[in-house]
C-alpha cells in the first residue's frame, strides 16, 4: 500500500460476475479502498454501473484491447493495485495493461484467474492464464494470482423449471472431491488478499470447502425438494470423448474433467503446486455452508444462477 491511507484499486471487469463480487466487497470497506472501474464505453449504461456508482465506485471508460498502452498508463496514475476479471480467451489480452501497470509503478497486479487448480497440461484455458502469469513474472511486476476452485453455485443442478440451463448434467462417478468458493465470497477474499503483504508474489487458493458432486446433489435435493435422477449423466469416458470435438467443447470438458473427474482441484494439490491456503492465512474466515448456498440458489435462481 502507498503512504496514502487508502489503497486505490483499478478493476477491469466490474460489470461481470467475478468483478462485481469484488467491487461490492471492496466498496463496503471504503475506509480501506477507493475503487475505480475501467469499463468499455458501450457497457457504461448497464444497470450494474448505476448500482456500483451508488456504492462510491468511480468509473473510467476504457478497453484493455482497443486502447493504447499510453492511454491505459494514464488511467493507472496513483493506482496501487490492478485487478483484472475479464475472460482471457484471447492470448495476450491483458499484456498491454500489465505493461502499463509496470510503467505506472503499480504495486500489485492481480490478473484474471479466479479458476480451479490444475497442473500444466490439464486445461488449455488454464495454461493460457499461466502464460500471462509468466509474462508478469518476466517483467518483474509485483503480483498475486488468485485461484478459487469452482464457484459453489456451478455445482448445483438447475431446478426443473429452468429447462434452458446448461446445469443439468452430473459428471463422472460423483465421488471426486473438488474445492469451491461462493461467488459472492470471492470479493471478500480478494479484499483480504490485496491488503496482505504475505500474498505478494504468491498464488493464493481460496475456498469455502471441498465436496463431491454426489454430496452436492444430495444437498440440492434436500434443499429444493426436487429429485434430479432424470438429469443427464456423463461418464468419465464420455467427458473425455468430448475433449477435442471443438475448441469450445475442449474448454468446457477439460474444465469439467479437472473439477469432477481427475481430482486436480483440491486444496492439497493447489498447495503442492505452491499456492498459499486461504484457511491458513485467514483462520477467522467463516466459510459459506453449502446448504445456505443451495437455499440461495433455489430461492433466487434467476438472480444467482451462474449461467
Ligand atoms: N471458478 C469458477 O468457477 C469460474 C467460473 C466462471 C469464470 N471464472 C473465471 O473468472 C474470470 C472472470 O470471469 P467472469 O465469468 O466473472 O467474467 P464475465 O462475467 O464474463 O465478465 C467479464 C468482464 O470483463 C469485461 N471486459 C471484457 N473485455 C474487456 C475489455 N476489452 N476491456 C475492458 N473490460 C472488458 C466485461 O465487460 P463488458 O460489460 O463490457 O462485457 C465484463 O465486465 C475469468 O478468468 C474466468 O475464467 C471462474
User: What is the spatial distance between Cα 277 and Cα 225, in angstroms, rounded to a whole number?
Assistant: 35
Decide whether any atom of ligand 1 lies within 6 Å of the 151 Cβ.
yes
Q: Which ligand 1 atom sits nearest the alpha carbon of residue 181?
A: 1
| Mutational test site, ligand 1, from 85, 125, 185, max ligand atoms within 8 Å of CB | 85
Task: Give me the residue label for grid cell 484471447.
Answer: 90
| pLDDT value, residue 163 | 74
| Mutational test site, ligand 1, from 11, 13, 304, max ligand atoms within 8 Å of CB | 13
| pLDDT value, residue 4 | 65
| Sign of the four-CA dihedral 15, 16, 19, 24 | positive
| pLDDT value, residue 41 | 98
Decide whether any atom of ligand 1 lies within 6 Å of the 15 Cβ.
yes
3-state helix/strand/coil string of 184-238:
HHHHHHHHHHCCCHHHCCEEEECCCEEECHHHHHHHHHHHHCCCCCCCEEECHHH
Strands (E), 29-175: 33-39, 58-61, 81-84, 108-110, 144-147, 150-151, 169-171
CA angle 110, 184, 190 (to 5 degrees): 25
129: left (phi over 0), alpha (psi -120 to 50) or beta: alpha
Decide whether any atom of ligand 1 lies within 6 Å of the 19 Cβ.
yes
All three cell numbers of 220, joined, read: 440440492
108: left (phi over 0), alpha (psi -120 to 50) or beta: beta
User: What is the spatial distance between Cα 61 and Cα 63, in angstroms, rounded to a whole number?
Assistant: 7
Decide whether any atom of ligand 1 lies within 6 Å of the 12 Cβ.
yes
Paired with 298 in beta bridges are none
Nearest CA to ligand 1 atom 28: 86
Q: Which ligand 1 atom sits nearest the alpha carbon of residue 112?
A: 45
User: What is the spatial distance between Cα 177 and Cα 173, in angstroms, rounded to a whole number?
Assistant: 11
Nearest CA to ligand 1 atom 27: 86
| pLDDT value, residue 2 | 47
> In angstroms, what is the span from residue 12 Cα to ligand 1's centroid?
9
3-state secondary structure of 177: coil
| pLDDT value, residue 199 | 98
| pTM to 2 decimal places | 0.96
Residue burial 84-101, b: 16+ Cβ < 10 Å; e: rest = bbbebeeeebbbbbbbbb
Q: Which ligand 1 atom sits nearest the alpha carbon of residue 93?
A: 31
Q: What is the pLDDT along the chain (307 residues), one digit of tens a residue?
A: 544 689 999 999 999 999 999 999 999 999 999 999 999 999 999 999 999 999 999 999 999 999 999 999 999 999 999 999 999 998 899 999 999 999 999 999 999 999 999 999 999 999 999 999 999 999 999 999 999 999 999 999 999 998 788 889 999 999 999 999 999 999 999 999 999 999 999 999 999 999 999 999 999 999 999 999 999 999 999 999 999 999 999 999 999 999 999 999 999 999 999 999 999 999 999 999 999 999 999 998 888 777 7
Q: Which ligand 1 atom sits nearest the alpha carbon of residue 14?
A: 43
Dihedral pair phi/psi, residue 257, rounded to 5° = -60, -45
3-state secondary structure of 162: coil
Paired with 7 in beta bridges are 33
| pLDDT value, residue 84 | 98
| Mutational test site, ligand 1, from 14, 15, 63, 90, max ligand atoms within 8 Å of CB | 15
CB neighbourhood size of 104 (10 A): 17
Q: Are 278 and 204 in contact (CB under 8 A)?
A: yes
Amino acid at each position: 500500500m502507498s503512504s496514502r491511507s487508502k489503497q486505490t484499486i483499478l478493476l477491469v471487469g466490474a460489470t461481470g460476475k467475478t468483478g462485481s463480487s469484488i467491487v461490492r466487497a471492496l466498496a463496503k470497506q471504503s475506509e480501506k479502498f477507493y475503487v475505480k472501474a475501467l469499463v468499455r464505453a458501450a457497457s457504461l449504461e448497464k444497470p450494474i454501473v448505476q448500482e456500483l456508482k451508488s456504492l462510491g465506485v468511480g468509473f473510467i471508460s476504457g478497453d484493455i484491447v482497443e486502447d493504447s498502452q499510453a492511454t491505459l498508463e494514464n488511467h493507472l496514475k496513483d493506482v496501487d493495485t490492478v485487478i483484472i476479471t475479464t475472460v482471457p480467451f484471447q492470448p495476450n489480452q491483458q499484456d498491454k495493461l500489465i505493461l502499463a501497470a509496470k510503467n505506472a509503478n503499480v504495486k500489485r497486479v492481480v490478473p484474471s484467474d479466479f479458476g480451479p487448480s490444475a497442473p500444466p497440461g490439464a486445461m488449455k484455458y488454464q495454461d493460457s492464464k499461466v502464460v500471462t502469469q509468466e509474462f508478469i513474472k518476466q517483467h518483474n511486476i509485483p503480483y498475486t494470482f488468485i485461484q478459487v476452485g469452482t464457484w459453489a453455485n456451478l455445482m448445483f443442478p438447475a431446478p426443473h423449471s429452468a429447462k434452458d440451463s446448461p446445469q443439468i448434467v452430473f459428471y463422472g462417478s460423483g465421488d471426486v472431491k473438488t474445492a469451491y468458493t461462493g461467488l459472492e465470497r470471492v470479493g471478500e477474499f480478494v479484499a483480504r488478499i490485496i491488503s496482505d503483504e504475505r500474498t505478494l508474489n504468491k498464488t493464493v487458493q481460496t475456498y469455502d470447502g471441498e465436496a463431491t458432486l454426489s454430496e452436492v446433489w444430495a444437498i440440492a435435493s434436500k434443499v429444493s425438494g426436487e429429485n434430479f435422477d432424470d438429469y443427464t449423466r456423463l461418464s468419465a469416458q464420455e467427458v473425455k470423448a468430448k475433449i477435442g470435438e471443438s475448441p469450445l467443447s475442449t474448454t468446457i470438458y477439460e474444465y469439467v474433467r479437472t473439477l469432477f473427474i481427475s481430482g486436480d482441484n483440491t486444496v492439497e494439490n493447489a498447495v503442492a503446486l505452491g499456492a498459499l491456503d486461504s484457511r491458513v492465512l485467514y483462520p477467522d474466515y467463516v466459510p459459506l455452508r453449502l446448504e445456505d448456498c443451495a437455499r440461495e440458489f433455489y430461492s433466487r435462481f434467476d438472480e444467482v444462477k451462474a449461467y
